[in-house]
A = this chain, B = another copy of it.
Amino acid sequence: MSLNSVSPDFMAALGADLPEGALRPADPRYLHEPRGQWTGQQTMVALPRSAGEVAAIVRHASRHAVGLLPYGGGTGLVGGQVAPAGAVPLIVSLERMTAVRAVYPDENVLIAEAGVILADIQAAAEEAGRLFPLSLAAEGSARIGGNLATNAGGTGVLRYGNARDLCLGLEAVLPDGQIWHGLKRLRKDNTGYDLRHLLIGAEGTLGIITAASLKLSPRPAAMGTGLFVVQSPRAALSLLSLARDQLGDMVSAFELMHAQGYAFLAEKLPDVRQPFDSPPEWSVLVQLGLARGMVPQDALEALFVAAADAGLVSDGLIAQNEGQSRDFWAIREQIPEANRKIGSISSHDISLPLGALPEFIEQARQQIAQVGAFRINCFGHVGDGNLHYNVFPAPGASRADHEGDRERIKRVVHDLVHRMDGSVSAEHGIGRLKVDDLERYGDPAKLSAMRAIKAALDPKGIMNPGAILRAP
């Protein structure tokens, strides 16, 4: 079934069921996405204030067979939030649903509407003496509905899991316009199929999340940050293993960085303080979240000594105060910005079984060298097996020189990931960017089940048409 574009008739019918001001022409900000790969078609945006209003929008869209584009903070990196072609959809922005409906500190639960900005949820949790551990670069503008729709990852996954692991329940509008009232605050609830986990990660293709019941955690009594120089990615993994043997899940982040990242920082962001005289080829940022009575510097010192005895680390810095900790984190957090300023030919959000990571890094380097001369910045959440693997022109060359290599590099990286049982989208999702990759690398049985589910729940295909699955 083909969809209709947003039309004056449709808008008039919809407008009659919504309060004044709920419909507007879409500002340019709704039509652009962070990587600048696509531009959305000019359209209208709906700004509902309640699940009931979202339901009215969905019912009208279903009746008129008009596509809906759910919109959170607009920070997604795979084009899930823009419709550059095809029938023109209505954008549904959740930005007016920004209430934290309730906080239950003793239950470690917070209930937020879909439009609450991630950083505001972190702040509300902190105010209640708790931690909402989802943490990622875009947290100042990303909204929780989008974080859940894309099953966002970030730096806290090692210890606390992905967005889906932090969600106890959802309120959502399904494609038939029914509101699912699923805002449970329960840790155990085995009453039928887990619709929550189906909507999480579905990128708005099976319904629109309007609110979520979120899992909070106790705040660690103390935090510690160390920056250790490791011999190799393999040594980094051994260090992780050692750290978890010593500290269990008090290891809360474990981020790998390559010398290329330090070099890009020095070149493009010279204000970021460089902690080493010369950038180590491989280094790891370790963060600990400790129980009461434990001293971060002691725990990191003990880890360093054991790692040095095992020949895993050759140098290391342990933050002595919050300022130093922030400096260490700034390095990791500014690498993506430095990358952007250099300008990558091709960037990849991949994951691998932990044990396969060192071999992947070596093989990918060799295979890319066969394509040509490039700089590689490979970094990321190595504790989760998640690498951001970005390929840049050699010094003196430009992106434009390598337009023709982009596809080939992508194929080299993704083929290798696939052969090693990895994922071609670790934390960003499929969106529109990776629809082809999903078709190429996805398990056929899973793909046919996904298509059957999509057709069953959204028979007219109005929900984020063209994202994840090609519109039929």
Could you tell me the distance in whole angstroms from the C-beta of A197 to the nearest C-beta in chain B? 3
Is A386 in contact with B188, judged by CB distance below 8 angstroms?
A: yes
Is B423 in contact with A192, judged by CB distance below 8 angstroms?
A: no
A442 at the binding interface (Cβ < 8 Å):
yes
Is A384 in contact with B237, judged by CB distance below 8 angstroms?
A: no
Assembled-state Cα–Cα distance A285/B452 (Å): 47
Residue of B whose beta carbon sits closest to that of A357: B107
Is A445 in contact with B187, judged by CB distance below 8 angstroms?
A: no
Could you tell me the distance in whole angstroms from the C-beta of A62 to the nearest C-beta in chain B? 14
Binary flags per residue of A433-472, CB closer than 8 Å to B gives 1, else 0: 0100010011111111110110111000000000011000
Copies in the complex: 2
Is B198 in contact with A438, judged by CB distance below 8 angstroms?
A: no
Could you tell me the distance in whole angstroms from the C-beta of A196 to the nearest C-beta in chain B? 8
Chain B residues near A289 (CB-CB < 8 A): 248
User: How many A residues are at the interface, by size bracket?
Assistant: 35 or more
Residue of B whose beta carbon sits closest to that of A298: B293
Which of B351, B441, B443 is the one whose CB lies under 8 Å from A182? Answer: B443
Interface positions of A from 106 to 136, Cβ below 8 Å from B: 106-109
Residue of B whose beta carbon sits closest to that of A186: B351
Interface positions of A from 392 to 406, Cβ below 8 Å from B: none
A185 at the binding interface (Cβ < 8 Å):
yes
Interface positions of A from 176 to 223, Cβ below 8 Å from B: 176, 178-182, 184-195, 197-198, 200-202, 206, 217-218, 220-221
Using known A-B contacts A291-B250, A443-B181, determine if residue A194 contacts B186 with beta carbons closer than 8 Å.
no
Chain B residues near A292 (CB-CB < 8 A): 245-247
Assembled-state Cα–Cα distance A163/B300 (Å): 33
Is B220 in contact with A187, judged by CB distance below 8 angstroms?
A: no
Is B448 in contact with A353, judged by CB distance below 8 angstroms?
A: no
A281 at the binding interface (Cβ < 8 Å):
no
Assembled-state Cα–Cα distance A444/B178 (Å): 9
Could you tell me the distance in whole angstroms from the C-beta of A26 to the nearest C-beta in chain B? 26
The stretch from A318-326, A329-337, A424-432 touching chain B is: A424-432
Which of B192, B221, B457 is the one whose CB lies under 8 Å from A430? Answer: B192
A421 at the binding interface (Cβ < 8 Å):
yes
Is B107 in contact with A193, judged by CB distance below 8 angstroms?
A: no
The stretch from A30-38, A88-96, A149-157, A365-373 touching chain B is: A149-157
Could you tell me the distance in whole angstroms from the C-beta of A463 to the nearest C-beta in chain B? 12
Is B107 in contact with A354, judged by CB distance below 8 angstroms?
A: yes
Binary flags per residue of A255-269, CB closer than 8 Å to B gives 1, else 0: 000000000000000
Is A355 in contact with B244, judged by CB distance below 8 angstroms?
A: no
Assembled-state Cα–Cα distance A246/B290 (Å): 10
Assembled-state Cα–Cα distance A108/B441 (Å): 25
Is B384 in contact with A187, judged by CB distance below 8 angstroms?
A: yes
Using known A-B contacts A174-B445, A220-B248, A453-B453, determine if residue A185 contacts B421 with beta carbons closer than 8 Å.
yes
Binary flags per residue of A84-105, CB closer than 8 Å to B gives 1, else 0: 0000000000000000000010
Assembled-state Cα–Cα distance A429/B189 (Å): 8
Which of B109, B180, B190, B200 is the one whose CB lies under 8 Å from A194? Answer: B200
A143 at the binding interface (Cβ < 8 Å):
no
Is B241 in contact with A106, judged by CB distance below 8 angstroms?
A: yes
A164 at the binding interface (Cβ < 8 Å):
yes
Which of B162, B248, B442 is the one whose CB lies under 8 Å from A218? Answer: B248
Assembled-state Cα–Cα distance A104/B354 (Å): 9
Is A190 in contact with B453, judged by CB distance below 8 angstroms?
A: no
A381 at the binding interface (Cβ < 8 Å):
yes
**Interface residues, chain A, CB within 8 Å of chain B?**
104, 106-109, 150-151, 153, 157-158, 161-162, 164-165, 174, 176, 178-182, 184-195, 197-198, 200-202, 206, 217-218, 220-221, 237-238, 241, 244-250, 289, 291-294, 351-355, 381, 384-386, 421-430, 434, 438, 441-450, 452-453, 455-457, 468-469
A181-B445, A194-B200, A456-B456 known; 8 other A-B pairs, CB under 8 Å?
A: A106-B355, A107-B354, A108-B244, A189-B426, A192-B430, A192-B438, A193-B202, A198-B453
- Could you name 9 residue pairs across A and B whose Cβ atoms are closer than 8 Å? A107-B353, A153-B188, A181-B443, A188-B381, A190-B425, A192-B468, A194-B198, A195-B449, A248-B250
